[in-house]
Amino acid sequence: MPTMDNQRGIAAGGVASSLLDDMKRRILILGGTTESRQLAASLAARDDLSLMLSLAGRTTSPLVQPVPTRSGGFGGAEGLAAYLRDNRVDVLIDATHPYAGTISANAMQAASQTGTPLLSLRRPPWQAQPGDRWTQVADAEVAAYALGPEPQCVFLAVGRQEVAAFACQPQHRYVVRTVDPVDPPLAVPHAKYILARGPFSEAEDRELLSSHGIDVVVAKNSGGDATYGKIAAARSLGIRVLLLQRPFEQPATSVSTVAEAIAWLDHAVTSGIDRGV
C-alpha cells in the first residue's frame, strides 16, 4: 500500500510524464512495407517522438512491429483527417507500398485539409538492365490480355488483389505466389499456389522459374531488393516480364530511403512544426 507521500510522488510523476508526453512530436507512419518497419525501428528509442504505425490490417499474420500500431482503414481521406486532428498528429509519413495509390491520395488530401506536414517515403522503381525483356502494361487487366492467345506458363507475382484479373485467360497455366491465400482461387483449370513472404533471392527465384517452366513473369515494379530476385532471375533465363505501371504519384515531398526520411524528420522537428489547423 503506498504512503500519502508516495501517492503524491506517483501523482506528480504521472503529471510530469504526461507533460513530457505532450511535448513529444506525434508521428503517424502509414505502413505495410519493409521501409515502414525499418523507419519505425530506427525511431523507436527516440524520447522526443511519440510514434504510431498504421497498417491496413489485410494480412492474416502480420509481422511484429517495433512501435505501437493501429490496424484497419480510417474511412477515406475525411476519416484520416479526423484521426490526424483527434490525435494531434504533428507529422504524417506515408511509407506505404508504391502501388497503394488510394491511401497515398488520402494522405495527401488529409494532410492538406489539416495542415499536417507530409513526407512520402517511396522506393524508386527498378530500371531495365541490358538483357531484360520487359513490357510495361497499364494494369493487371491489360497484362492478362498481353499474355496473348497461345497457352503460356505464367508466374504471377502481383499480389493477391490483382490475381482475379487473369481468370479471363484460362488457356494459360498459372503459378501464383502470394503472402496470403488467394480466396476464392483463380477460376482457371491450371493454377498452382505458392504461399511465401519475401525476401526472395535471385538463386531461389531462378530455381522456381526453371522448375515450373515459366514463360512469362507478371509483376509490379515495386523497387527495393526484397522482390528483385524474380526480375534478375528472369533476365538471366531470358524470360519475358510484364510490369504493371505504378499508380499516379502524389506531389508530396518525397524521399527514397529510410535515412533520408529520418534526416527530413530531424530537420522538421528542430525547425519547429505547426500542429494541424
Residues forming the site for ligand NAP (CB under 6 A): 30-33, 54-56, 58, 73-76, 79-80, 96-97, 99-103, 106, 159, 220
Q: CB-based contacts of 270: which residues, under 8 Å, 6+ apart?
A: none
Q: How far is the CB of 81 from ligand NAP (least distance, A)?
A: 11
Q: Which is nearer to ligand NAP, 117 or 173 (CB)?
A: 117
DSSP-assigned states of every residue in 118-155: EEEE-PPPP---TT-EEEEESSHHHHHHHT-SS--EEE
Q: Kindly tell me the burial class for residue 109, based on how many C-beta atoms sit within 10 Å of its own C-beta (0-12, 13-18, 19 or more).
A: middle
d(CA 92, CA 108): 10
CB 265 within 8 A of CB 93: yes
Q: Which is nearer to ligand NAP, 108 or 173 (CB)?
A: 108
d(CA 150, CA 77): 44
Place of cell 522537428: 269
Q: Which is nearer to ligand NAP, 158 or 173 (CB)?
A: 158
Q: How far is the CB of 199 from ligand NAP (least distance, A)?
A: 13
Q: How far is the CB of 103 from ligand NAP (least distance, A)?
A: 4
Q: How far is the CB of 65 from ligand NAP (least distance, A)?
A: 11
Q: Which is nearer to ligand NAP, 51 or 80 (CB)?
A: 80
Q: How far is the CB of 111 from ligand NAP (least distance, A)?
A: 14
Q: Which is nearer to ligand NAP, 109 or 201 (CB)?
A: 109
Q: Which is nearer to ligand NAP, 38 or 106 (CB)?
A: 106
Which residues on neighbouring strands pair with residue 106, listed in sequence order? Answer: none
CB 71 within 8 A of CB 8: no
Q: How far is the CB of 28 from ligand NAP (least distance, A)?
A: 9
Residue nearest to ligand NAP as judged by C-beta position:
73
